[in-house]
Chains A and B, each alone.
Chain A
Amino acid sequence: MSRTEGKNLRVVLYEGPGGTPLGDTERFETLSTLLDNGFEVTRPVAGQQVAPADDAPVLVLGHLDMEALPPVGADQDVYFRSLTDAEALETARDVREASGARQLEAWKPWFPVIDFDRCTNCMQCLTFCLFDVYGVDGKQQITVQNEDNCKTDCPACSRVCPEVAILFPKYGKGPINGDIVRAQDVQREAMKVDITTLLGGDLYGSLRNRQQDARKRFSTERDESKALLERKRCLGKLKQDLDIPDEVLMTLPSAEDIEERAVRAKAKMEKRLARSKTVQDSRPVPTEREWGI
């Protein structure tokens, strides 16, 4: 059974005919103990209105004279217990078990509550939530369909809602906790929407395009002046990181020097190759005796 299934036991704190009134302290302590342990409590007073009974089991609790109590219908799931016999909480727990009422878990009822005065049915919450908390009803209206799936203390869907229409009543701060939505809250949400619009409505697509633009820019910017600047920057970094003295850096050849040296080296090599070919051609092939065979 999930934590949201089953009926709660309703405790009626009875002080009417057939019972002796409780003292103020006893009444208050009984009330707060039962409430703190998850029970619902009704305090009826003759001639005054309380919520009518439903089909949940009921425990009538008080200082009762069992023989003087008014009769109840046979179809009602009602238990009478006197506080003179046992402690209230213990009695309520026993009756809860006997009646098959919901066993309480210590849980924080954390789930989104939609303010339909503000909701525009944009479905951002539905597409955003990874845990399948939201769904749509038969009229294609957004709805919270799996409260149990919601991750306790996560109000992320309320932050993406452009209309500030999602509440988490157990949240600490407004307007997510249900506090009044002020103009600045709406402006903040509108700003989020504007940013998305500025980015073309598709954040991931925009990031991809930006990366491609950057690559393109890199390939077109490879000119000599930028290369020299880059070299200068690298030299500066070398000096800083490796502690290379200025005088050593000054002796490093410039690009022109390197190019000139390369041209000279190439010419020298060609000259040597040519000479070597001439020498090889003019020399007679060694005889077998010369080879020592």
Chain B
Amino acid sequence: MKILYCNCTYAKVVPVEVKRDVLRQLSDSGQAFDAVADLCDMSARKDPALKKIAEGGCTRIAACFPRAVKWLFHAAGTPLPAEGVDVLNMREDSAEDIVKELLA
């Protein structure tokens, strides 16, 4: 199981307290993870790193709306697999719920 955290650095659409709380708990958890500054930025650049994230089994992604994340990966030419990917929405859900799902 891989974990990906998106910091949504270039816009203020994810509540700061939620994303900081998720990152802090992730950082303290002893769990391996990848953190990216901004998935939108990576998608716009068609960053090959997205391919590495999309490949290789189950992934949990803490970012924003699942529909947005799905099509951001697709736009970068690296669609997410149809199964085995959970997208957790930091725009709407609480940090506690997100972390619970991420570390389950």
Q: Is the CB of B49 within 8 A of A28?
A: no
What mask results when residues 144 to 167 of chain A are scored 1 for a CB within 8 Å of chain B, else 0? 100100000000000000000001
Interface residues in B38-58 by Cβ distance below 8 A to A read: 38-49, 51-53, 56-57
Q: Is the CB of B67 within 8 A of A39?
A: no
* A contact residues around B46 at 8 Å (CB): 4
Residue in A38, A102, A144, A172 whose beta carbon sits within 8 Å of that of B75 in the complex: A144
What mask results when residues 40 to 70 of chain A are scored 1 for a CB within 8 Å of chain B, else 0? 1111110011111111100000000000000
* B contact residues around A39 at 8 Å (CB): 37
| Chain-B contact segment, one of A108-116, A213-221, A251-259 | A108-116
Q: Is the CB of A50 within 8 A of B32?
A: yes
On whether A178 and B65 interact (CB within 8 A), knowing A42-B34, A51-B52, the answer reads yes
| Contacts between the two chains (Cβ within 8 Å), count | 152
A112 to chain B, nearest CB (A): 9
Residue in A49, A53, A108, A174 whose beta carbon sits within 8 Å of that of B10 in the complex: A108
Q: Is the CB of A55 within 8 A of B48?
A: yes
A132 to chain B, nearest CB (A): 16
B4 on the A face (CB < 8 A): yes
B20 on the A face (CB < 8 A): yes
On whether A45 and B35 interact (CB within 8 A), knowing A114-B71, A169-B40, the answer reads no
Q: Is the CB of B31 within 8 A of A45?
A: yes
* A contact residues around B32 at 8 Å (CB): 42-45, 48-50
Q: Is the CB of A54 within 8 A of B49?
A: yes
Interface residue ranges, A against B (CB under 8 Å)? 4-8, 10, 24, 27-28, 31-32, 35-45, 48-56, 102, 106-109, 111, 113-116, 144, 147, 167, 169-172, 174, 177-180
